[in-house]
Structures are given as C-alpha cells and as structure tokens.
Amino acid sequence: MKRVMVRYRVKPEWASENVELVRAVYDELHETRPEGLRYATFKLDDGVSFVHLAEHDEDGPNQLTRLASFQRFQEGIKERCDDPPVVSDVSTIGAYRLVGESSGRLKAIDFERTSRIQE
C-alpha cells in the first residue's frame, strides 16, 4: 500500500470553495466506490489549513486521480493557496478507530456538521 499525506493552506477567501470542492470528491467516491482506496480530509482549526491522507494499492492506478471531481479540485489549486500542497510519503505506526472506523471500514463523517449538532 502507498500512503501519502498532503498539507496546504488556502487563502481565507478560498476556504469555503475548497471545502465544497473536497465534498464533491467524497460525493463521487460514494457513488463510484473505487476499490483499493482509502481517503480522509481534515480542516485544521485555523479554518484555512487542510490535510489529506490517502492510501491506495501500489499495483494499480491511483483511483483518486482518475475522478473528475478530484481533477476539478486540483484545477487552480496554486491560485487558491497561500502555502502550496506538500506531499509526503507516510507509514503507519499505529491507528485506533481513526475517523469513525468500525469493523475495518471507514465511514464518511462530516465533522463540521457533527460538531454543530453536538453543541
């Protein structure tokens, strides 16, 4: 498995649009359900910094980059960012119930909406 982390900081005026572009990727992922891909996105508490974690099979093509919504997300990323994306290969030391993990399956969670409901 190949695992990467991507981090970047968008300009404040682009934060909402960036969130919408990311959500569109998840909409397409839920529709197409590509095999061999695990993916999560986090917005940091400053509201403009984002971290993406992706894991995919090394044998086949990266299913994420084939999505039309992900290609739209990548368009104009340089213009949206104050700090451009930095891609790092990562290896797992350990994980415990990460992002709503249950029975080995990741559930999509909208943390922003969930936290508002819990308040």
Is-contact 64 56, C-beta < 8 A? yes
pLDDT, position 99: 62
Query: Does residue 34 lie within any of the structural domains?
Result: yes
- What pLDDT does residue 9 have? 98
Is 119 domain-assigned?
no
Q: Which long-range contacts (CB under 8 A, 24 or more apart) does 37-40 make?
A: 37/62, 37/63, 37/64, 38/106, 39/64, 40/98, 40/99, 40/106
- 11 conformational bin, left if phi > 0, alpha if psi -120 to 50, beta if neither: beta
Residue 106 lies in a domain: no
Domain that includes residue 85, residue range = 2-92
**Rounded to two decimals, what is the model's pTM?**
0.78
Output the pLDDT for position 98. 74
Rounded Cα distance between 19 and 24, Å, is 9
Question: Which residues in the chain show pLDDT less than 70?
Answer: 99-119
Any idea what the Cα angle at residue 42 is, between residues 36 and 47, rounded to 5°? 155
| CATH label of the domain that carries residue 26 | 3.30.70.100
Say how many domains are in the chain: 1
